Chains A and B, each alone.
Chain A
Amino acid sequence: MNALVHFRDVSKLFGNDFALRDVNLEVERGKITALIGPSGCGKSTILRLIVGLVVADTGEIQFDGEQIAPGTIMKIRRRLGYVIQDGGLFPHLTALRNLTLQPRVFRKRRDEIEKRIEELCQLTKFPNSALDRYPLELSGGQRQRVSLMRALMLSPELLLLDEPFAALDPLVRVNLQRDLKEICARLQQTVLLVTHDLAEAAFLGDEIALMNEGRIVQRGSIADLRAKPANQFVREFISAQRGLIQL
């Protein structure tokens, strides 16, 4: 039982529609788990349940042996890093202020904060000189680097990435994917990544979970999925995306 996060028979309804249906999932420590599937398959809902932005209707979610519930969620959130598609940086704060907001609220020592920022700038290849810029003065790629740094500030046990590179142009995306892989390897970071891009999932994910209509359809490596598709949907999903890549 080395998993950091456990989902047991978790279901979530939005109105009358199932967003998730009896999901069972483990996020292994030190690995990158990629959730992939078409839009609306429920993959983002899994991240939102862990952060406590939505609450499960049935089933149980555990983080490091502790159940995620209203009473525990505030403490658990401090152990998470969360990056979303357009970064979610606060436009009224400079890059630096976006980074220091959380550690200052949690009363980290100033020299520790400065040291951490120094480290993260190197790790994410973000130029120190751009720290005083506001989000609107940064490029899309730079914004995602700052967002990643913000998520890593307090050395979270789990990094949640929700389509972090979807809005970037392909060249920038490839660079960021490569850098992210390097960063996670160096930090031995546990990651749960949501993407709809099979190439990204294959490149970054140690383990892939393919979802459709609120269920996890198949889990394994990209090779497993390709060699032994569990059903017709898996076969179609993979061949559709492979077709694109080969073009």
Chain B
Amino acid sequence: MNAGKESRSGGFQAAVYLSRRLGSRRSLLAVASFLLSATLASADPVIIGSKKFTESYVLAEIAKQSLERAGIKAEHRQGMGGTIILWEALRGGGIDVYPEYTGTIAEEMLKQPGASIAQIRDALSAQGIAMTDDLGFNNTYALVMRRDRSEQLGLKTISDLRAHRELKFGLTHEFLERRDGWRPLSERYQLVPSQVLGIDHALGYAALSKGEIDVKDAYSTDAKIGDYGLVTLIDDLHFFPQYKAVFLYRKALASQASHALNDLSNSIDEARMIRLNSEAERTKNYAAAARQFFGATENASPFVSETFRDKLLRWVTRHLELAGISLLLAIIVGLPLGIIASRGGTIGHTILGITGVIQTIPSLALLALLVPLPFFGISARTAIVALFLYGLLPIVRNTATGLQDIPRPLRESAIALGLTAGQRLRKIFLPLASRSILAGIKTSAVINIGTATLAALIGAGGLGEPIISGLNLNDHVTILQGAIPAALLALLVQFLFDLLDRVLIPRGLRL
């Protein structure tokens, strides 16, 4: 009969209980000030984005150094996840510049296949975006094979593939879905291979060299084509559009900065780009490869490369920041939701249903959904919100279950004592459910540490940075530089929460 009162005060009561137990008022302030600073900090430097493949990294570094040479501060958010995220970030102002290819712009972003350069310029201009002239090379899609395999079968052109249905195709997920990708290509050439797998770009090269797949999509300037001694099949029906590299930038960019970018047009030919890519992959240092572009004579630059310890510290700090803040938000929101859900009914089931559905959205898809929204864009904020959403389910579910599992005699004794709904919740029900609630928070914390690696996909840093660049370079050492600390952090968090159990779970419940 006090249900109404209880639902109104539930959230507040939970927050009070929590802040009493954790002393979290200060942490709340920290969240607020972090969110505020994240909003304010984006004023100064030119922000350059890049996609997660070597050439994009190198071109972004070249843009950065060109801007710096013109005396403009620039920052590189490297390896963001996919065309849509960068495009939306550019339109929304999350980034100012990034390298793109004319074919992708026409086909994917503007949905105007075959548009001329002038048409592309107009369409971009309408959205507040400008484009440099092409940088001097065409990085089109290509199908590649191992040399020995192609010679053995006598394959030279894409048309030749038609006769060999037994060949295994390993294609990137992006290529499989693109309007200028696999489906129209296979229709044009009438290819019906027995097996087509979706595989990551860098991992695909490894699979190709081991013979696990026979044909793969590639960019025509990929360093790996030379490194692995691969053969590019001739596009005899001229299917692939032109992919001239350009920089896209916001029209609002200062003219000095746009000059620095436009100075780069027609300065890199294909051979040079392959060399720079190969250099970057060999040294695992994109900035150094970009410096080579400006002439290696200047290697006395003031640029001092970060030591591994500094980098690790930066990754771990950011990682903890992302996971910690999102966890705190998940607790603040999840606990009241769990309390409401514990009462069952339509609202309760809806809450559990929604938090459950969120859990099933793949992380990259969730990011792609969030990035175009006004408040989000390419920022730590977006990563935190995504992590927060993933962290909700365990907390909501465990809070609800913990409260529902309180035996009826105890519930009724609390009512009979004449306590109000809020008093019952705070003094009796939440402490009784504390073990279950804490277990939920612990699960969330561990999940968040693991999932926080996705932040690197939108340039928000953390331990995902080395993991993604390692995947791109097919370099296990770099992957492990991110993966091992992330695993250790998860273990550490687990251990700390086990200690916290002893403080927060009343002794009477641990007998």
Contact = CB atoms under 8 A, between A and B. Distances in A.
Interface of A: 48, 51-53, 55, 70, 73-74, 77-78, 80, 82, 84-86, 88-94, 101-102, 105-106, 134-137, 150
Given A91-B432, A91-B509, A134-B507, A84 B418 contact: no
A77 B506 CA distance: 27
Interface stretch (B39-47, B109-117, B406-414): B406-414
Across the A-B interface, the 9 shortest Cβ-Cβ residue pairs:
A88-B413, A77-B418, A134-B508, A92-B506, A82-B416, A78-B418, A136-B511, A92-B508, A92-B431
A52 B1 contact: yes
A90 B416 contact: no
A186 B414 CA distance: 27
A188 to B, nearest CB: 22
Contacts of A70: 1
Interface string B396-423: 0000000000000110111111111001
Given A91-B509, A92-B432, A92-B506, A86 B409 contact: yes
A94 B427 contact: no
B167 interface: no
Contacts of B410: 88, 90-91
A53 B410 CA distance: 12
B483 interface: no
B192 interface: no
B428 interface: yes
A102 B417 CA distance: 6
A77 B416 contact: yes
Contacts, number: 74
A73 to B, nearest CB: 7
A3 B135 CA distance: 99
Contact of A84 (B412, B420, B427): B412
Contacts of B412: 48, 51, 53, 84, 88
Interface string B472-511: 0000000000000000000000000000000000111101
B100 to A, nearest CB: 60
A70 B431 CA distance: 27
Interface of B: 1, 409-410, 412-420, 423, 427-428, 431-432, 434, 506-509, 511
A106 B418 CA distance: 9
Indicate the member of B417, B427, B428, B511 with the most A CB atoms within 10 Å. Answer: B417
B53 to A, nearest CB: 55
B428 A90 contact: yes
A55 B1 contact: yes
B413 A82 contact: yes
Contacts of A94: 508
B409 A84 contact: yes
A134 B511 contact: yes
19 contacts: A53-B416, A74-B418, A77-B415, A77-B417, A77-B418, A78-B418, A84-B413, A88-B410, A88-B416, A90-B410, A91-B432, A91-B508, A92-B434, A102-B417, A105-B427, A134-B508, A134-B511, A136-B508, A137-B511
Contacts of A82: 413, 416-417
Nearest to A74: B418
Nearest to A85: B409
Given A70-B1, A86-B409, A93 B415 contact: no
A75 to B, nearest CB: 8
A92 B413 contact: no
Contacts of A136: 508, 511
A70 B428 CA distance: 22
A113 B417 CA distance: 16
Contacts of B418: 74, 77-78, 80, 102, 106
A210 B434 CA distance: 43
A197 B330 CA distance: 52
Indicate the member of A55, A74, A84, A88 with the most B CB atoms within 10 Å. Answer: A88
Nearest to A136: B511
Contacts of A106: 418
A106 B417 CA distance: 10
B508 A93 contact: yes
Nearest to B417: A102
A90 B413 contact: yes
B1 A73 contact: yes
A51 B418 CA distance: 9
A86 B409 CA distance: 8
Contacts of A92: 428, 431-432, 434, 506, 508-509
A70 to B, nearest CB: 5
Nearest to B413: A88
A192 to B, nearest CB: 13
A136 B412 CA distance: 19
Contacts of B419: 102, 105
A21 to B, nearest CB: 23
Nearest to A92: B506
Nearest to B505: A92
A93 B1 contact: no
B312 to A, nearest CB: 42
Contact of A101 (B420, B427, B506, B511): B427
Given A53-B415, A90-B410, 13 more contacts: A51-B416, A70-B1, A73-B1, A78-B418, A80-B416, A84-B412, A92-B431, A93-B508, A101-B417, A102-B417, A102-B418, A136-B508, A137-B511
